[in-house]
Amino acid sequence: MPVKSRTLSDTMEDTKDRHRRYMRAIQHHIRRDILRLMEKGLTTIGEFEKELGIDAKVLDWHLRTLEHGFCIERIGEGDSPSFALASEGKIVGYLDRKAKQ
């Protein structure tokens, strides 16, 4: 059975808001890079910092934007959470594959 997208809701207004949040999340190149890294199996803040070479506060802002846009899920709390790629976050891999065709 297909998984229902978290960007859909019972009301049109809420669905529009969720789509707006999702589109905002995937429009920035750093956030798309984070999604690509997650497709490769990287899941922690330390791994993202090492690969992207960006400040921890900037990275945290991008991760929160991806969470708010339904692309990733935070696993665990505290100083060292990890992240899981949500089905909505897999769009970047799909678009990359389509671009190569």
Give yes or no for residue 3 having a pLDDT over 60.
no
pLDDT single digits (tens) 38-95:
999 999 999 999 999 999 999 999 999 999 999 999 998 877 889 999 988 888 877 7
| Residue-range domain boundaries for the chain | 12-100
Cα 50 to Cα 46, 55, 63, distances in angstroms:
6, 10, 15
Q: Can you give the pLDDT at residue 10? A: 73
Q: Can you give the pLDDT at residue 41? A: 94
Q: Can you give the pLDDT at residue 100? A: 80
Give yes or no for residue 1 having a pLDDT over 60.
no
Pick the CATH number of 12-100 from 1.10.490.10, 3.30.1300.10, 1.10.10.10, 2.170.270.10: 1.10.10.10
What letters, b where the CB count within 10 A reaches 16 and e where it falls short, cover 49-86? eeebeeeeeebeebbebbbebbbbeeeeeeeeeebebb
Residue with tokens 């990275």: 59
Give yes or no for residue 2 having a pLDDT over 70.
no
Tell which residue, 18, 14, 13, has the closest CA to residue 71.
18
Report H helices in the chain. Answer: 12-26, 29-39, 45-52, 56-68, 91-100
Q: Considering the entire predicted model, what is its pTM? A: 0.83
Residue 8 pLDDT level (bands cut at 50, 70, 90): low
What is the distance, to the nearest Å, from the Cα of residue 67 to the centroid of all Cα atoms in its chain?
6
